[in-house]
Amino acid sequence: MLLKIYDILYRTFGSQRWWPVTSKNKQFEVVIGAILTQNTSWKNVEKAISNLRKEKLIDADKIRKTNVRKLAKLIKPSGYFNQKARRLKIAAEFFLKNKNPNREELLQVKGIGPETADSILLYAYNKPFFVVDLYTKRIMSRIGLCRADAGYDEIQEMFHRLSRDARMFNEYHALLVELAKQHCMKKPECRGCPVYKQCKRFI
């Protein structure tokens, strides 16, 4: 069923070309985005990253050296900006010392939980860790492939049993985000949904 859903979404929406980056320092821009997107929308993150780009701060060493108040002001559109500014500086220190971190190392960094760690591993380092976000959990539970109260690891393992292909995980996660934006919102818009027939809400 997971593979069938992937095929339907890919035929419907096409390649999503995620993670969207605009600087030459792709890896660290993904790190910044993964931290800033916590508890906010991507549109707000884009505004914050644009501010950092204008100040030429898409760089771990420059983030490390930047005053935390200045950093907080620049990333204000992303919300929780004082907290996130401190977390960016902690992350900058970590990535300057760790060029190819593993999941366990990332989870030891303050402010980096499973979803953020897996986003960094998948999108910045092309490692096969499926990202389980609110959208993934909502869609999978509505379709009936997991319980509504299923934990992160349980849902991730479902995808890992399907494949360990980073490229597929990248595309699949992005397609689920697109489905959530267009149809599978908190209050679903089921008309025209490409996986309507697979959804347990209507079977």
Q: Encode pLDDT of 153-201 as tens digits.
A: 999 999 999 999 999 999 999 999 999 999 999 999 999 999 999 887 6
Sign of the dihedral defined by the CA atoms of residues 179, 149, 37, 96, in that order: negative
Mean pLDDT of the chain: 95
- Selected from 1.10.340.30, 3.90.950.10, 3.40.50.1260, 3.40.50.2300, the CATH number assigned to the domain covering 26-124 reads 1.10.340.30
Residue 200's pLDDT is what? 79
Please determine, for residue 41, whether its predicted confidence score (pLDDT) is greater than 80.
yes
pTM equals 0.93
Among the listed residues 186, 193, 174, the one whose alpha carbon sits nearest the alpha carbon of residue 42: 174
Give the helix ranges, DSSP H, for the chain.
2-13, 26-36, 42-54, 60-65, 68-74, 81-97, 103-107, 114-119, 134-143, 152-162, 166-182
What separation in angstroms does the CA of 152 have from each of 46, 78, 155, 179, 198?
A: 26, 24, 5, 20, 22
Listed by start position, the domains of the chain span 2-17+130-198, 26-124
In this predicted structure, the answer to whether residue 203 has a pLDDT above a threshold of 70 is: no
Nearest to 91 by CA among 74, 112, 72, 70: 112
Per-residue pLDDT tens over the stretch 91-122: 999 999 999 999 999 999 999 999 999 999 99
- Residue 82's contacts (CB-CB under 8 Å, 6 or more residues apart) are 68, 72
Residue 202 is predicted with a pLDDT of: 52
Residue 147 has pLDDT above 90, yes or no: yes
Q: Does 150 score more than 60 pLDDT?
A: yes
CA atoms within 13 A on the CB side of 116: 22
**What whole-number distance in Å separates Cα of residue 32 and Cα of residue 189?**
32
The CATH number of 2-17+130-198 is 1.10.1670.10
pLDDT at 151 over 90: yes
| pLDDT at residue 201, as a whole number | 64
Q: What is the DSSP string of 55-107?
A: TT--SHHHHHHS-HHHHHHHTGGGSSHHHHHHHHHHHHHHHHH-SS--HHHHH
